[in-house]
């Protein structure tokens, strides 16, 4: 028997946990690659500023990893406590990628510890830099395996259903489901992109506060170039994601685009309001939805009229789609203008107003990550395992989930505020000018 109150609070608590965790998980996936690239550039150019970039980012990264571990553990706990029926049905299928995700994290954590502990123990920066390879790979593979679990929930395969149970399970086939390629690629490149813009935002803040140190200028220049690369990659993979949805989850695409009637030459709808039948005040791009779905401006796109009402996702995901896409295009434009401006010597890219635009890029990139995940999860509703189990059927019947929500909300508040305070104090007490001076004194002492 379904307990509607338990279902509601279970969904709220899961959304809260994932929304909090995804910020630290995104940084946890993207920052190791930024650290490795910075140290590689420093090694190739024999430039201590890039080496220090890697060192300082690595210190801050440790704090985010610690919070990510706690919230990741909370997700695992909540899967069993809040969604026991789902775990009973699909647990045998998702056990393998969950185990592999844990193994990937162990690899990342072990080599991160070795990397940090041996910073001044390697005479060769090249050898020390190689320790970052398993850290970056482990972080990315951790995201790959956990995203495979989510992809399976959207496109389940690799099993048979007998008497309501999954049998003849083929874990590898289940992992290689149709949603996996685009979902994994999208998660990785958006994590890299968001991390680049978040770190660039920090450098821009320092410059706005009056710092003229070349360290921050080099940091900003490197990160904006990386941000541009990953923003372009995000746009390309986003196009593939649209084509996946058109073929495998057409109801999700139709709901996100307020595409109510099946038609050829479908327009792309941006913004607007709807009463569930008619769209008003929207900006429509003719034929764009048909192009997104099928690369053909006259192709037919399936509308919501082809699905039962109880299987149509909530229509507010349209605004999540708009938020994600608009922020992505904004970030791409900001990075493109900066990179071209550097090449063409446009003075305005160093102005305060444009630096403020770059500062805004960091929070906006993380907001786009949130909007994308809300779109992914809410857009699958009413299914927890698409086509096999609805969300209401997968939830617990316990009446104490609301109390769990309060407890976990307090935990996340403490972790969020605590991590911010620790990071701020860490870098305020050890500004880059002080660290460079200390390193020069240490080198002079070694020579003496």
Query: 10-residue block means of pLDDT along the chain (448 residues)?
Result: 77 89 89 90 84 85 83 82 84 84 86 82 76 89 90 87 79 89 93 93 86 82 92 91 89 88 86 81 86 86 87 90 92 92 84 90 92 91 87 82 86 87 78 61 50
Residue 375 three-state SS: helix
**Domain shared by 259 and 368, yes or no:** yes
User: What ranges make up the beta strands (E) of 271-402?
Assistant: 273-274, 279-280, 283-285, 300-301, 383-385, 389-390
Local structure of 385: helix, strand or coil: strand
11 and 139 inside one domain: yes
Nearest to 16 by CA among 417, 402, 423: 402
Domain boundary among the residues 357, 379, 401 is at 379
279 strand-pairing partners: 274
Same-domain pairing of 411 and 276: no
Structural domain includes residue 166: yes
Is residue 438, in this structure, part of any structural domain at all?
A: yes
Give all strands (DSSP E) within 194-310, no chain letters.
Answer: 263-264, 268-270, 273-274, 279-280, 283-285, 300-301
In-domain check, residue 190: no
If you search the block for the tokens 């003229």, which residue do you land on? 212
Among 324, 352, 379, give the residue marking a domain's end: 379
Whether residue 13 lies inside any domain: the answer is: yes
Q: Clarify whether residues 116 and 160 are in a common domain.
A: yes
User: 226 and 319 share a domain?
Assistant: yes
How much is the pLDDT for 444? 46
Partners of residue 314 on adjacent β-strands = none
- Domain total for the chain? 2
Q: 313 and 256 in one domain? A: yes
Q: Is residue 385 part of a domain?
A: no
Whether 368 and 425 map to the same domain: the answer is no
Quick check: pTM over 0.75? yes
Q: How far apart are CA 333 and CA 324, in angstroms?
A: 14
Give the torsion through C-alpha atoms of 209, 434, 221, 338, to 10 deg.
10
Q: Check residue 109 and give its pLDDT.
A: 85
φ, ψ of residue 297 in degrees (nearest 5): -65, -20
- Are 35 and 175 in a shared domain? yes
C-alpha span between 90 and 69 (Å, rounded): 24
Q: Please list, in sequence order, all residues whose beta carbon lies within 8 angstroms of the beta carbon of residue 443, skipping any fewer than 6 positions away.
A: none
Quick check: is 97 in a domain?
yes
| 17 and 132 housed in the same domain | yes
Q: Would you say residue 99 lies in a domain?
A: yes
Q: Taking the alpha carbons of 322, 324, 326, 329 in that order, is the dihedral positive or negative?
A: negative
Which pair of tokens denotes residue 202? 């920090």
Q: Report the b/e string of 15-54 with b at 16+ CB within 10 A.
A: ebbbebbbbbbbbbbbbbbbbbbbbbbbbeeeebbbbbbb
Q: Which of 332, 354, 379 is the last residue of a domain?
A: 379
- Say whether both 280 and 363 belong to one domain: yes
Structure tokens at 119: 């910073």
Domain that holds residue 404: 1-179+390-448
Residues 445 and 321 grouped into a single domain: no
Q: Any idea what DSSP says for residue 270?
A: E
Q: Do residues 32 and 166 both lie within one domain?
A: yes
Of 244, 294, 236, the closest CA to residue 268 belongs to 294
- Is 184 among the domain residues? no
């Amino acid at each position: 028997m379904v307990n509607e109150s338990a279902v509601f609070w279970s969904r709220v608590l899961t959304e809260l946990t994932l929304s909090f965790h995804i910020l630290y998980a995104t940084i946890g996936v993207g920052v190791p690659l930024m650290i490795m690239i910075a140290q590689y550039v420093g090694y190739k150019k024999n430039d201590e500023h890039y080496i220090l970039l890697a060192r300082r980012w690595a210190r801050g990264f440790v704090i985010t990893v610690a919070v990510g571990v706690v919230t990741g553990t909370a997700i695992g706990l909540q899967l069993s406590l809040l969604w026991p029926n789902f775990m009973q049905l699909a647990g045998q299928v998702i056990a393998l990628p969950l185990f592999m995700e844990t193994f990937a994290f162990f690899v990342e954590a072990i080599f991160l510890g070795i990397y940090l502990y041996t910073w001044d123990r390697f005479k060769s920066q090249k050898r020390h830099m190689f320790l970052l390879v398993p850290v970056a790979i482990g972080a990315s593979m951790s995201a790959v395996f956990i995203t495979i679990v989510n992809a399976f929930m959207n496109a389940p395969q690799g099993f048979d259903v007998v008497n309501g149970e999954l049998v003849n399970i083929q874990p590898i086939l289940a992992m290689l489901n149709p949603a996996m390629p685009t979902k994994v690629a999208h998660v990785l490149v958006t994590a890299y992109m968001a991390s680049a813009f978040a770190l660039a935002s920090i450098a821009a803040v320092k410059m706005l506060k009056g710092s003229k140190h070349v360290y921050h200028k080099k940091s900003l220049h490197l990160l904006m170039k990386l941000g541009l690369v990953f923003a372009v990659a995000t746009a390309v993979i986003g196009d593939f994601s649209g084509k996946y949805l058109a073929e495998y989850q057409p109801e999700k695409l139709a709901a996100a685009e307020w595409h109510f009637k099946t038609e050829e030459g479908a327009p792309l709808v941006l913004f607007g309001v709807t009463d569930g039948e008619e769209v008003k005040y929207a900006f429509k791009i003719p034929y764009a939805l048909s192009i997104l779905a099928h690369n053909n401006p006259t192709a037919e796109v399936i509308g919501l009229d082809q699905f039962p009402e109880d299987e149509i996702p909530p229509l507010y995901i349209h605004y999540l789609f708009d938020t994600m896409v608009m922020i992505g295009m904004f970030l791409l434009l900001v990075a493109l203008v900066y990179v071209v401006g550097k090449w063409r010597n446009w003075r305005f890219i160093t102005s305060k107003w444009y630096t403020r635009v770059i500062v805004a890029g960091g929070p906006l990139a993380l907001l786009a990550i949130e909007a994308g995940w809300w779109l992914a999860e809410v857009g699958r509703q009413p299914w927890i395992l698409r086509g096999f189990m609805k969300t209401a059927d997968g939830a617990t019947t316990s009446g104490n989930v609301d109390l769990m929500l309060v407890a976990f909300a307090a935990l996340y508040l403490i972790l969020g505020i605590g991590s911010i305070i620790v990071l701020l104090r860490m870098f305020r007490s050890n500004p880059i000018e002080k660290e460079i001076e200390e390193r020069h004194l240490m080198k002079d002492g070694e020579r003496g």
